[in-house]
Structures are given as C-alpha cells and as structure tokens.
Amino acid sequence: MRVLTLLVIALGLAASHAEPQHSAVYPAPRTDAGWKDRAKLLDDRLKEAPETELLFIGDSITAGWEGGGKEVWASRYGPRKAVNLGIGGDRTQHVLWRLQHAPLDGVKPKAAVVMIGTNNSNGEDNTPGQIADGVVAIVRTLREKLPNTKILLLAIFPRGENFNAQRGKIAQVNQVIQKLDDGRNVFFLDIGHRFLDSTGLLPAEIMPDYLHLTAKGYQIWADAIEPRLNELLGGK
C-alpha cells in the first residue's frame, strides 16, 4: 500500500510539472475551406519572399493590414519586404499549427511582430492563464524555428466600446505575457492605450466594431511600434 501511495504521489508531481494541456496550446488546423486557402496563400508568400526582413503574425486584426491598413503597409512595410501572416478568426492553437507547418526554413527575417489571443478570450472558451500559455507556446515555437529573429510581442488590443469583463480578461493575459520580455530576443510592447480616449472609450473612428481597426487605427499601430521596430531591424 505504501509503495502504491508513493507511486500516486510521484505521478501527481510529474503531472504538475508537465506542459499545460488545453485547447489554447494544442496545435490545431481549422477545417473550413477559406482558412485552408488562406493558410496555403501565406505559405506561398513565405516561399516567394526569401529576403523578407519582417513578419506580422496574428489573426484578423493582423490580416487587416491588407484591408484598412493597406496604404500604411505599402509605405511603411513594403520597403522592408514584410510578409503578413494573419488569418481572420485564428486563435493561439491555430497560429501554433501554422508555425509548425510553415516553410520557415527558407526565410531569415530580422523581426516578427506577434499579436494574438483576442479570439481565445470570447466567452468561457479559455481562461486568462490558458491564453497566456498559448502565447508563450507561440513565442517558444518562433524561437525554435527562427532563432535569429527578434520578436516584438504586442499586448492584445482592448476591445469593446467601454469598460467590460473581456477587457479585464485581456488585461490579465497581458500582465503575464509581458514577462516574456528578456531584453535580448523577445520585446514586449503594450500600445492598447493609444486606441482609447481619456475616459477609456474606444472610438468608432479607430475601431468601428470595437475590435477591428480603420485606416486611422493602423496608422496609430504603425507609429506606436516604429521606434522599437526600427531598432530591431537595425535602423532600416
């Protein structure tokens, strides 16, 4: 009986130190045709851009650089041969799967801008801790796949017109993932406050649906990250 008890305790301790197992960290593709087509398009972009200096990785907010943000993208990131790896609706688990299967061995970007997790925050889908685990897994995967690439990790942007529970959930995630900043390879930057007015309101002229950005919103994003991004790209 004593041997059995010790075995149970040992297994319990091993489990407590194991990698977290939940949806946010379990790499998974999506099954819809639109996602598959977009994922293939992004893989093709990587194959066709071996000289890219910059990657943007995320969900629909990142994908929107091809929509509301296309003019800012053309002027700011076109010359840097940037590649947009955003897919609308993606969660941390989907980005993890994409990074594990993407043709990253053919590129050597100087920097990658990462902003992901807002879709995991919907309802009771994932807890703040689980979302943070997902972001940590993405950063770890990028470090493994692209060890010479500096990561500019952005805090998840605020959402919702006014103060709300989801903003609080996102803020808790941001408090954790900022610890990933090591001052050498990973750099955390929170620019969310730049989208809000002095009362905490999220103006419709910046996010008309209080989630996705307008051209003005993308200009704010680009201006806010430029000083740090310029450093990571070696002053280019």
pLDDT tens per residue across span 116-145: 999 999 999 999 999 999 999 999 999 999
| In the predicted structure, residue 4 carries a pLDDT above the cut 60 | no
**Catalytic status, residue 60:** yes
With pLDDT > 70 as the criterion, what percentage of the chain qualifies?
91
Indicate whether 232 pLDDT > 70.
yes
Q: Which residue has the tokens 């103006």?
A: 203
Q: Among 155, 159, 165, which residue's Cα sits nearest to residue 209?
A: 159
The partner residues of 114 in beta bridges, in order of sequence, read 57, 153
Query: Which listed residue (60, 94, 121, 198) is catalytic?
Result: 60
Which one from 59, 90, 121, 212 is the annotated catalytic residue? 212
The b-or-e profile of 68-82 (16+ CB within 10 A means b, else e) is: bbeebbeebbeebeb
Residue reference for tokens 């999506």: 30
Which tens digit of pLDDT belongs to each residue from 36-82? 999 999 999 999 999 999 999 999 999 999 999 999 999 999 999 99
Q: What is the mean pLDDT of residues 148-177?
A: 98
Question: What mean pLDDT value characterizes the chain?
Answer: 93
Domain that residue 171 falls in: 2-232
Which comes out higher in pLDDT, residue 10 or 206?
Answer: 206
pLDDT at 18: 55
Query: Catalytic one among 32, 125, 209, 223?
Result: 209
Q: What is the mean pLDDT of residues 167-171?
A: 98
CATH number of the domain encompassing residue 31: 3.40.50.1110
Domains: count for the chain: 1
The pLDDT score that the predictor gives to residue 235 is 81
pTM of the predicted model as reported, rounded to 2 decimal places: 0.91
How sure is the predictor about 10, in pLDDT bands with cuts at 50, 70 and 90? very low
Active site (annotated) includes residue 209: yes
